[in-house]
Amino acid sequence: QVQLVESGGGLVQAGGSLRLSCAASGRTFTTYNMGWFRQAPGKEREFVAAISWNGAITNYADSVKGRFTISRSNGKNTVYLQMNSLKPEDTAVYYCAAGSVYSTQPSHYDKWGQGTQVTVSS
């Protein structure tokens, strides 16, 4: 069973960049599809990006397309979210998730990290 820990969040000015990392433990990491989601205060958790188990397929929310990039290193058991041109509306707690099904729906993911705060100031 995979366990996930996010890191890399923090405070950044609008237009800046951050790279989030999601470190996974477990021997079966390479078999999992991975996703990034975020949740702002008072809002539902929303899809940000997903990547298939072999990295061949990626999907992005329209709100982040062209600015964010999801990637994975199976050798390091880590998934990344590179965030460029950050906007104040990107402020949220960001979660990584693992699942056996490649999906943009949070209900299809089996395991979640605890989240990392990203705050973008204007």
Q: 72 to each of 94, 99, 104, 109, how far by Cα in Å?
A: 16, 14, 17, 17
- Give the whole-angstrom CA distance, residue 48 versus residue 59: 8
Q: What is the pLDDT of residue 28?
A: 75
Q: 67 to each of 13, 36, 81, how far by Cα in Å?
A: 15, 14, 10
Q: What is the pLDDT of residue 98?
A: 95
- Give the whole-angstrom CA distance, residue 48 versus residue 6: 15
Q: What is the pLDDT of residue 74?
A: 80
Q: What is the pLDDT of residue 71?
A: 96
Q: Report residues of the chain scoring pLDDT below 70.
A: none
